[in-house]
Amino acid sequence: MNNAISHHKEKANNNHLNNDAIKLFDQTLEFVSLIVHDLQGPIASMKTLTKFLMSGKYNPENDTHAALVRSCKNALERTESIIQDLLDSADQGDFALRLNNDLCDLRDIVKNSADALAGSAYDYAVSLRLDLPKKPAIVKIDRYYLARVIDNLIFNALKHSPCGKSVIIRLVSHNSEYVISITDQGSGLNEDDKDVIFDKYSQGSLRKNGKYRGVGLGLYFCKLAICAMGGRIWVESTSGEGASFKIALKAEESD
């Protein structure tokens, strides 16, 4: 996709568009590319359930099967929200991040993301393990964009996890922040990868080695959104020992 974007930008320049038009063109292409990228996870979950239903093996009394149905419902709602965001932005002619920060319980957002990607986890034969606190974890953020970030990180972790392994999603309180960590048991990252992994269109050695399918927009979006919400995002990893992507958000007082 990045080759296609470069092609369209070159075409725009060759057509002698003014600087404002080229800037809007760039914003639009980037926004649409991010939307397309973020639809991958929900669509993958819906495909998994569809194939499962067509196999004739579905049993509503089976807890795993019921979880797949819930995953499909959540994935459909995710898809609807993302498409609505695209339509709203196109209608307003504004493709920048438009934050609507509100007090939210992180436990709900994290759990909903895990539920939405349960179908993908089933397809990859990887289990999702949630470790959430019993008390509310209140932050002031945009729940839609944070959900997209967490979806991205979970879906990436699933893709990089060997069959039969687990992705651990943990939420803890640390000083005046809440920290979300999404940890896989994949091949991990080397030091060079960690330096560039959040850069636009950059995937370090992962892309060169053919281990990563995509163009390097997902983690760039994650950093963009989290920083816009006043948070921090980083990765901890040792090559050969998996990776743990972490988000820190300022804690708010709960009632």
Looking at the structure of the chain, the number of domains it has is 1
Q: In this structure, is residue 216 part of a structural domain? A: yes
pLDDT at 111: 94
| Three-class secondary structure of residue 235 per DSSP | strand
The reply to whether 255 falls in a domain is no
| pLDDT confidence of residue 30 | 67
Cβ neighbours around 184 below 10 Å, total = 25
In a domain, 81, yes or no: yes
Angle at 106 between CA 95 and CA 252, to 5 degrees: 95
Among candidate residues 166, 168, 248, 237, the one with its CA nearest the CA of residue 204: 237
pLDDT band at 207, cuts 50/70/90?
very low
* pLDDT of 89 above 70: no
Q: What is the CATH number of the domain that holds 51?
A: 3.30.565.10
Beta-carbon contacts of 85 under 8 Å, excluding residues fewer than 6 positions away, are 35, 144
Tell me the average pLDDT across 172-196.
90
Instruction: Measure CA of the first residue to CA of the last residue in the chain; give whole Å.
Output: 46
Question: What percent of the chain is modeled with pLDDT above 90?
Answer: 34
SS (H, E, C) 154-222: HHHHHHCCCCCCEEEEEEEEECCEEEEEEECCCCCCCHHHHHHCCCCCCCCHHHHCCCCCCCCCHHHHH
Question: What is the rounded CA–CA span in Å between residue 29 and residue 31?
Answer: 6
CB burial of 21-34 (b: ≥16 within 10 Å; e: otherwise) equals eeebbeeebbbbbb
Does residue 166 have a pLDDT over 80?
Answer: yes
Tokens coding 228: 């816009």
Ranking 43-52, 127-136, 200-209, 223-232 by mean pLDDT, the lowest is 200-209
Residues constituting the chain: 255
Residue indicated by tokens 């944070």: 146
Whether the predicted pLDDT of 87 surpasses 80? no
Q: What is the pLDDT of residue 92?
A: 60
205: CB partners within 8 A, 6+ apart: 190, 192, 193
Q: Determine the average pLDDT of the residues in 159-179.
A: 94
Q: Pick the most confident of 2-16, 26-40, 99-113.
A: 99-113
- CA-to-CA distance for 109 and 136, rounded, in angstroms? 12
Q: Residue 220 phi/psi, 5° resolution?
A: -60, -45
- pLDDT tens column, 124-163: 899 999 999 999 999 999 998 999 899 989 988 998 899 9
Q: Which structural domain, as residue segments, surrounds residue 114?
A: 2-250
Asked whether the predicted pLDDT for residue 110 surpasses 50, the reply is yes
DSSP state letters, 23-62: HHHHHHHHHHHHHHHHTHHHHHHHHHHHHHHHTT---TTS
